[in-house]
Amino acid sequence: MKLKLQKLKLSDTNRFAELANNKRLWLNMRDTFPHPYTIGNAISFINFSKKDNDNHIFGIFYNNELVGAVGLHGQEDINRHSVELGYWIGEPHWNKGIATKAVALIVDFGFKNLDINRIFASTIESNLASSRVLEKNNFIFEGVSRKSAFKNNVFLDEYNFSLLKDAY
């Protein structure tokens, strides 16, 4: 599998918006990920991803085609050595092992390049495929936050995972 992570460019805007504008994808994302997803949303996100801050965001490219995005998001104060992992793959590329490989690459980047001790992620109960991606990357299941997420007018359990640097 030819997969790489690289910084997003404004020339990726149309493809990014095309992949992101999918209700089935949106159902598994936080509400800050809009639906419908417009060209304007894509431009804003790509510009945000280029800023020099505590977020390390990359496009996921499979066979030189943009198929999704992945990022590590810095935390503050006593949690400053932890980052939250977020990722998504466009539906035409689901079930190909792309997310699993992209998470492996971003984890490697994070532990080798950032001053962090912990990478954490959460999934909602309806997104078992994403939980499986984390498990395949040796994330430890930490527990359930019962009915803590409210998505599409339904309360859902959130599944919490983490990976520590010394277990990497």
Angle, in degrees to the nearest 10, between helices 13-20 and 39-49:
110
Closest to 168 measured CA to CA, from 59, 97, 83 = 83
> What number of CA atoms fall less than 13 Å from residue 87's CA on the CB side?
29
CA dihedral 105, 32, 94, 5 (to 10 degrees): -30
Per-residue model confidence (pLDDT) at position 26: 97
CB-based burial of residue 143 (10 Å sphere; 0-12 exposed, 13-18 middle, 19+ buried)? exposed
Per-residue model confidence (pLDDT) at position 93: 97
Per-residue model confidence (pLDDT) at position 51: 87
In angstroms, what is the C-alpha Rg of the chain? 15
d(CA 59, CA 49): 9
Closest to 35 measured CA to CA, from 123, 152, 122, 149 = 152
Structural domains present in the chain: 3-167 (3.40.630.30)
Q: Per residue of the chain (168 residues), give pLDDT as tens.
A: 799 999 999 999 999 999 999 999 999 999 999 999 999 999 999 999 998 788 999 999 999 999 999 999 999 999 999 999 999 999 999 999 999 999 999 999 999 999 999 999 999 999 999 999 999 999 999 999 999 999 999 999 999 999 999 998
